[in-house]
Structure 1
């Protein structure tokens, strides 16, 4: 096995964004492409490591960039300043997700007809919005993601399968918002699953999360369960 890694620039409304791409060059021919959306601080080694893990499973892992090339947050305040405008302008968020998917489709190693999206925290909301747009994508995965609906999208059928991996005690997505999401997905005709992990807070897959005051705490058990659920879901989608 030889995992190859490159950075790929792509354009969004005149601005340059940069994705991290990983794939196994032992395999030949196009294979499913899996987008990995980042948390509120921008793309980091965390998301790139997830892309590498996907490459090891036989996919092309693409850690996308929602903020622009080289733009990262360095504190909670800076992270919020980057994320909040996109939460308030979901049409722009959706434009950036569509451009990222087009960049994935353009990769020679990717089978453009077999793609999925996953994301962590803010990236989970981004993945859900891709499905909410009715995008023709096999599936999306939200991992300790945000659930607030996109008010600019109404009466759109969701064709993508949806998997949400959720900490039941997540202060950023309480049980009521989880139930609201289930109602929304059902109304859109989606094939959906929500796995809620008891005694689990936000950012449960990130070993660096250790702030109980803000409700962001790593959970090895939930992380392990989520890894199995992700692998099983992608296997269901692509049979890889």
Structure 2
């Protein structure tokens, strides 16, 4: 009888685990006459409102890889929204196209901020288990620079995390003081695309503010260190140890900000 009961309970547990799944929902929206499509990602097993996390992907934009990354990070703790920074008519197929698309957005910081803010607004408007009083934004490479730019616009965010992101900004010294939440910058010390001169300029600007900020540099680490698909040796490549440590730093910040 005890064996039968144990088997029954085990079967119920397996059924409950199997029933949990990651929701992946495409969300269309429009800004300034441009059609966009982001992706909402969360675990349908969330039993109470969770923090809303805007995720701006790297310069390739909304891809299967970026959505999979959001799924892994969302788990049962957060509701993620993968932002579309280019519009549905711009879906880069290679680094050349990605560079052009990202360059267009970088060249217009007002547009960059507006598109990121729109994505955040869309996230908060979703019918999902979201705690609208708990918000964060994370980004990778181009996306890291984007979420920092969003923060400099004064966006209402509790936390901002940049993974190997752009640190330069045409209004860096002027706008850094507008940041409302805590900032965590995770950087490869040997990154040739975001050199130490940019790092030091960022530090100097932040030192002039009252913002709660952290900068962590990882040794023997270059650009795109969290991306398993990065394949430019010595310039942009995956570093498993640095990636693990970087995500641990993010988790620690989110625990600090969002745990009861």
Q: So what's the TM-score if we normalise by structure 1? A: 0.94
Instruction: Give the structure 2 partner of residue 64 of structure 1.
Output: 83
1:116 aligns with 2:133: no
Q: For structure 1, list consecutive stretches of 5 or more residues without a partner in the other structure.
A: none
CA distance in 1, matches of 2:256, 2:186: 16
CA distance in 2, matches of 1:189, 1:43: 34
CA distance in 1, matches of 2:93, 2:201: 32
- The structure having more radius of gyration, on CA atoms, is 2
CA distance in 2, matches of 1:113, 1:11: 24
Instruction: Give the structure 1 partner of residue 50 of structure 2.
Output: 31
Instruction: Give the structure 1 partner of residue 207 of structure 2.
Output: 186
CA distance in 1, matches of 2:103, 2:162: 18
CA distance in 2, matches of 1:149, 1:137: 19
CA distance in 2, matches of 1:61, 1:129: 19
CA distance in 2, matches of 1:22, 1:65: 14
CA distance in 2, matches of 1:196, 1:130: 22
Q: Is the 8 A contact 1:158 1:185 kept in 2?
A: no
Q: Normalized per residue, which structure has more helix?
A: 2
Task: Using the TM superposition, give the Cα deviation of residue 57 of structure 1 relative to its aligned residue in structure 2, in angstroms.
Answer: 4.0
Change (3 A) 1:45 1:27: same
Task: Using the TM superposition, give the Cα deviation of residue 70 of structure 1 relative to its aligned residue in structure 2, in angstroms.
Answer: 5.0
CA distance in 2, matches of 1:67, 1:124: 15
Name which of structure 1's ranges 153-162 and 133-142 shifts more when overlaid on structure 2: 153-162
Alignment partner of 1:172 out of 186, 193, 197:
193
Q: 1:9-37: per-residue Cα shift (whole Å, max 9, x none)?
A: 11121211111111122223432111111
Q: Partner of 1:53: helix, strand, or coil?
A: helix
Name which of structure 1's ranges 93-102 and 182-191 shifts more when overlaid on structure 2: 182-191
Q: Is the 8 A contact 1:134 1:160 kept in 2?
A: no
Q: 1:83-109: per-residue Cα shift (whole Å, max 9, x none)?
A: 111111101101101101110110122
Task: Using the TM superposition, give the Cα deviation of residue 154 of structure 1 relative to its aligned residue in structure 2, in angstroms.
Answer: 2.4
Matches within 5 A, 1:3-42: 3-42=22-61
- Please tell me the root mean square deviation across aligned C-alpha atoms, in Å: 1.7
- Spell out structure 1 runs of 4+ moving beyond 4 A: none
Aligned residue pairs total 239
Q: So what's the TM-score if we normalise by structure 2? A: 0.87
